[in-house]
Structure 1
């Protein structure tokens, strides 16, 4: 990650994920944000909190960025889940240093 320049919102997302900090993760998302992951969509604060807990906090995900271009981060994700580490693409919509939309797909 030394040579990868990331927008502040993406830096905050990675730092909060790697710290396993649900409150800091929730603060990364703006009002009315949407997350698309595992074929489902989570919208708004309550649903995104549910997604954060189930998909990032409970499995203790740690992200290691490998590239960033445009709005797309590719990172290796490891944690307490079978088959890890796995590579994922995170496509961020960002406004005013907050995530407005996030789509995650395996790479």
Structure 2
């Protein structure tokens, strides 16, 4: 990672994403968490696991952080999808070192 210091929950999110590990990634999210991505919202563990599998693991996404400020991470994402690498902004809400809400949008 570039010399960017990230909160533990976000560092865990990046590491689990890049490891393509469903269980480790799911553990990053707290009870009742939500993810907003591609115009849809996934809520709760089962839906978030579905999102992780379909949006991060299956396309083998690897994230490289480029900047971080005010709980907003900008990262380059590459993987098995057309047009990559692409830049994404990840807006995190965090409680007790777990992600409670994540909103993703292209940059």
TM-score by length of 2: 0.98
Unaligned runs of 5+ in 2: none
2:65–2:73 contact (8 Å) kept in structure 1: yes
| Alignment match, 1:99 | 99
Q: What is the root-mean-square deviation in Å for CA atoms of aligned residues?
A: 0.6
| Alignment match, 1:34 | 34
TM-score by length of 1: 0.98
Query: SS of the residue aligned with 2:104?
Result: strand
Partner Cα distance (1:70, 1:102) in 2: 13
| Alignment match, 1:90 | 90
Aligned pairs, how many? 107
Partner Cα distance (2:48, 2:95) in 1: 17
Q: CA deviation at 1:3?
A: 2.2
| Structure 1 stretches of 4+ moved >6 Å | none
The 5 Å alignment of 1:21-60 reads 21-60=21-60
Q: CA deviation at 1:2?
A: 3.6
| Alignment match, 1:17 | 17
2:64–2:77 contact (8 Å) kept in structure 1: yes
Query: SS of the residue aligned with 1:5?
Result: coil
Q: CA deviation at 1:13?
A: 0.2
Partner Cα distance (1:92, 1:75) in 2: 13
Query: SS of the residue aligned with 2:6?
Result: coil
